[in-house]
Amino acid sequence: AQSVTQPDIHITVSEGASLELRCNYSYGATPYLFWYVQSPGQGLQLLLKYFSGDTLVQGIKGFEAEFKRSQSSFNLRKPSVHWSDAAEYFCAVGRINEKLTFGTGTRLTIIP
């Protein structure tokens, strides 16, 4: 069965510092990979997705993620975080006509 692991429950980063959120997956084949962000009281918004091709994917709000097949990882990065990036981040995996499986999320706190 597919699974997604986000090992960091909570991360605190200073504004302007770089960010990396970890995501590891277990799947029978290379799945489609997604990162979503959820602000308090809001629904989830898609940041970026990987289906195939270039393993470095650019998303919205200055985020990027890198797919590493050998490590079964899809880590999210941002070179310089802003206070508005404080939110919950979810990694998800899926395939055609299969449901998305979400990780448990990483809560990001930004300190001035």
Partner 1 sequence: EAGVVQSPRYKIIEKKQPVAFWCNPISGHNTLYWYLQNLGQGPELLIRYENEEAVDDSQLPKDRFSAERLKGVDSTLKIQPAELGDSAVYLCASSLGALANNEQFFGPGTRLTVL
Query: Which residues lie near partner 1 (CB under 8 A)?
Result: 4, 9, 32, 36, 41-46, 49, 51, 90, 92, 94-100, 102-105
Six-digit token pair at 65? 């993620």
* Comparison of 93 and 110: residue with beta carbon closer to partner 1: 93
Contacts of 54 (CB under 8 A, 6+ apart): none
Name residue, tokens 């918004």: 45
If the CB atoms of residues 72 and 101 are measured against partner 1, the closer one turns out to be: 101
Q: How far is the CB of 16 from partner 1 (least distance, A)?
A: 28
- Distance between CA atoms of 53 and 87, rounded to whole angstroms? 29
Closest separation between CB of residue 36 and partner 1, Å?
Answer: 8
Alpha-carbon span 85 to 107, nearest angstrom: 10
Residue 6: DSSP 8-state: -
DSSP assignment letter at 40: T
Q: How far apart are CB 41 and partner 1 at their closest, in Å?
A: 6
Which C-beta is closer to partner 1: that of 41 or that of 112? 41
Closest CB 31 distance from partner 1, rounded Å: 8
